[in-house]
Each structure stands twice: as C-alpha cells, then as structure tokens.
Amino acid sequence: MIPVFHRLLCGLLAATALSSCSSVFQPVSSGKATTDYRSGLSDMLRSLPPPEEPVVVAVYKFRDQTGQYKSSENLVQYSTAVTQGATSMLIRALMEAGNGKWFTVLEREGLTDLMNERKIIHQTREMYTNGNNKAESRGPSLPPLLYAPILLEGGIVAYETNLLTGGVGAHYFGLGGSTEFRRDTVTSMLRAVSVKNGSVLSHVDARKTVFSMQLDSGLFRYVAFKRLLEVEAGVTSNEPPQMAVMETIEACVYALVMEGLVNKLWRFKDPHLVKPLIEDYLKQRDTEMLAEFDKQGRVISMTPKNIELPESISQEN
C-alpha cells in the first residue's frame, strides 16, 4: 500500500507543480480594455480629404450572408463563423471617413426604438399639459427625422475556410517540432442605392485573408533505466475574424468613396487632391485603369491600361 500511496502523492505534487508553472509562465496575460479598436485601414480611411458637403446615407442592416457556422471536427457548433455586429462596424467606418466629415449616417437599424421614444416624448408632453391652449403649453414640437438620398446595402457574403493548409516538422533522437498553418478568407460587398429611383449607383467589394498557425515541440527520451522524460510545448496564433471583417468593411467604404469620385457622385473640397488618390486607388485594383482629369481635377474618362489608345487620342493627350 505504501508504494501505491507514494506514487499517487508524487503524481499529485507533479500536477500541482505543472499547473503553478503554467500560471507563472503564461505566455499572454489578460490586459485592460482599450478604446479605438482599429484595423490596418483605419488610418487611411481617416486621412481622406473632406468633401464639398457631407453625404447623407442610411444603413438598415449589413447582414451576415455566409450562412456558415464555426467548424469543428468532433462537435456540432451553432456559433456563427463571422460576427453578427457588422452593421455597427459599417456605421463606425462611415463616421470615421475623413475624420467624420464624409458621411452623415442616419439611424435605421433601431428605427422602431427611435420612433417609440419620440412617441413617448409626445405623449408625455400631452399628459402634463396645463391651460386651455395646449399647443403653447406643450412647447416646441419635435423636428422631423432626416431622410437620406442614398441607401447603403450589402453584407458579409463569404467566409471560406481551409483554402490553404500545410505544415512542416522534424524529429531526431526523440527531440523535434512541427508547425501547421491554415488560411481562410472573408469577403464583404457594399453598394450605394439611390432612394429616388432605386438604381445602384456604385458597387464595391473587399477580401481579407485570415491566417492561423500552430507550433508544437517536444522531447521524448530515456534518461535512465525505466525513466522516461517527456516534455511538450506549443503555441497557436489565430488572427481574429472580427478584425478581418472590420478591415473588409473599411476597405469597402474607402472604395465606395473612390468609386463615387470616379463616377462623379461627389467631389473633394480641394479638387487638386483627387488625381493622386484616384491613381493610387486604381493601381490597387485587379484591372489597372488609366484615368484622364480636367483642370479642376475631376475624372473625364477611364481606359483599361492593357488596351492601347488610338493614335489620334494619344496625340490629343
């Protein structure tokens, strides 16, 4: 009985030591909550020059249209693969464009709550009205809600997993390690719709890679007769999918501004800033285009770069 008890006691002490070591040597500690959660495109979006006047837009819902759930090899999970708060991300990106000078965003996702609150104000004023002239005692009426000439629609249209997987590993004399990686992608689309006639004014999309990596290492060796030493360590790095979604949304907003400049939907307050920004934007597109500008910096026409211009047009330019 004594050897068995001794083994159990040693195992308990070893487990306690490992748990204490894991808490002491924790690779990543929990930090405090921070504000201004931004992606890699936030600074570029904020640095946009101001327009001639803010563009009034309405956003009802920026939906998750992927229909995908988190993948699992053993269990069935009902958690969605991407965030359900994409509408809030789109509203934030719109309000950050040009440091808040580009868009006037109207609340439409919580329109029912907004109308109920206005109704409560109206009923409260009527309830506590004193005197015969109720119109004067109620005070000034609520101003009408703003309406938007442009409606923004779209959503997260795709979340593709395991587009690229792989790894490498090596072991020698009981010592070695391995690494594995996986690449996923998320795609968002955004379109501007005219409320006047329902026509689609502009349509843009953006795609972002989500990269995950796992690193494992271990030691398996006999240190003495019937004494086996086994050590394992590993770390996994996963890019947050919500950050990738935010970056695709911000890229869509930036592209929407640029496409609006190309299609003459709106203009910069300083027309001389249009040409360098549009040229840089066109270089980032899959099909590079050549743009022609007038003296005020507005886009006159666009031609695919791989198509040679007629000699007469080339001489005019």
Q: Are residues 207 and 310 in the same domain?
A: no
Q: What does the pLDDT look like over 264-295, one tens digit per residue? A: 888 888 888 888 888 888 777 655 445 555 55
Q: Are residues 199 and 288 in the same domain?
A: no
Asked whether residue 192 is domain-assigned, the answer is: yes
Q: Are residues 242 and 296 in the same domain?
A: no
- Which range among 61-65, 130-134, 209-213, 275-279 shows the weakest confidence by mean pLDDT? 130-134
Q: Are residues 73 and 194 in the same domain?
A: yes
Q: Are residues 204 and 299 in the same domain?
A: no
For residue 224, pLDDT beyond 60: yes
Helices (H), 179-306: 241-262, 274-284
Q: Are residues 132 and 181 in the same domain?
A: yes
φ/ψ bin of 99: left (φ > 0), alpha (ψ from -120 to 50), beta (otherwise): left
Asked whether residue 99 is domain-assigned, the answer is: yes
Residue ending a domain, among 254, 269, 284, is 269
Residue 184 CA to residue 71 CA, distance in Å, equals: 12
Residue range of the domain that includes 204? 36-165+175-269
Per residue, the 3-state secondary structure of 161-199, as one string, reads EEEEEEEEEEEECCEEEEEEEEEEEEEEEEEEEECCCCC
Q: What does the pLDDT look like over 163-195, one tens digit per residue? A: 888 888 888 888 888 888 888 888 999 999 999
Describe the crossing of helices 274-284 and 241-262 by its angle, rounded to 10 degrees: 130
The predicted structure's pLDDT at residue 314 = 36
Looking at the 3D structure of the chain, how many domains does it have?
2
Q: Are residues 64 and 108 in the same domain?
A: yes
Q: Are residues 44 and 103 in the same domain?
A: yes
pTM to 2 decimal places: 0.74
The predicted structure's pLDDT at residue 22 = 47
Give the pLDDT band of residue 1 (cuts 50, 70, 90).
very low
Q: Are residues 190 and 306 in the same domain?
A: no
The predicted structure's pLDDT at residue 176 = 86
CATH number for the domain spanning 237: value is 3.40.50.10610
pLDDT top residue among 129 and 99: 99
Q: Are residues 260 and 289 in the same domain?
A: no
Residue 160 CA to residue 86 CA, distance in Å, equals: 17
Nearest to 39 by CA among 277, 241, 188: 241
